[in-house]
Amino acid sequence: MLGLVCAACAQGTFSFDQQSSTESTLGEGAVAIQTNQPLGQSFTPTFDSLNFIRLYLLDGVANGSGATVLINLRTNSITGPILSSTDPVALPDHFAGATNFFFPVSVPLSPGVLYYFQPVLQSGDSSFTVNFHNGFGYTGGNAFFQGTLRQFDDLWFREGTYNVPEPSSVGLVLIGFGALFYRRKRIA
């Protein structure tokens, strides 16, 4: 019984706060991360914390080189102070898909305040792009290309919190007593 408990894996839950779209609509274009810095998106959270940002990334050139990407969370502007950065994510050559970028710890936010995120190509292939669209209609912010606000454009993004359920104290005590009872019964 204890072996089954140790082998059990918890499933986390994504709670989306702000998003420009869902996985059903990916956008109409892509903008190169490296050559369009400062590149990013402003957003206005309603949650009081942030654990992840999901972006749709694409490597349009199959050249044998992947890339490592991270996201800076900024305040005041797309070039403002960095509040936190996600853990870097290594992406393979010719990658295309939605990618989750997790912050090492939950970042406290003030709901209703404008924040900015900036994808950064840390190393590798400079052909990596992030999807955007001028028809997403996200009203809580805008995209920025080369530091310039793009009033009708938004990067494809989703952001929010990620919760991993933990077993209750009562459940853990019952499992412990069960394992102890099982062990004592085998010895006797």
pLDDT per residue over 90-118, tens digit each?
Answer: 999 999 999 999 999 999 999 999 999 99
Whether residue 2 lies inside any domain: the answer is no
Pairing of β 67-75 and β 40-43: unpaired
pLDDT of residue 173: 65
pLDDT of residue 38: 98
Whether residue 124 lies inside any domain: the answer is yes
pLDDT of residue 141: 97
Tally of structural domains, the chain: 1
Distance between CA atoms of residues 85 and 2, nearest Å = 38
Whether residue 98 lies inside any domain: the answer is yes
Q: Which residue has the tokens 């709670």?
A: 15
Residues of the chain with pLDDT under 70: 1-11, 164-174, 177, 179, 188
pLDDT of residue 48: 98
Whether residue 100 lies inside any domain: the answer is yes
Q: Which residues contact 117 (CB under 8 A, 6 or more apart)?
A: 40, 41, 43, 53, 71, 72, 73, 74, 157, 159
pLDDT of residue 26: 87
Which domain does 148 fall in, by range?
15-164
Give the CATH number for residue 143. Answer: 2.60.120
Whether residue 89 lies inside any domain: the answer is yes
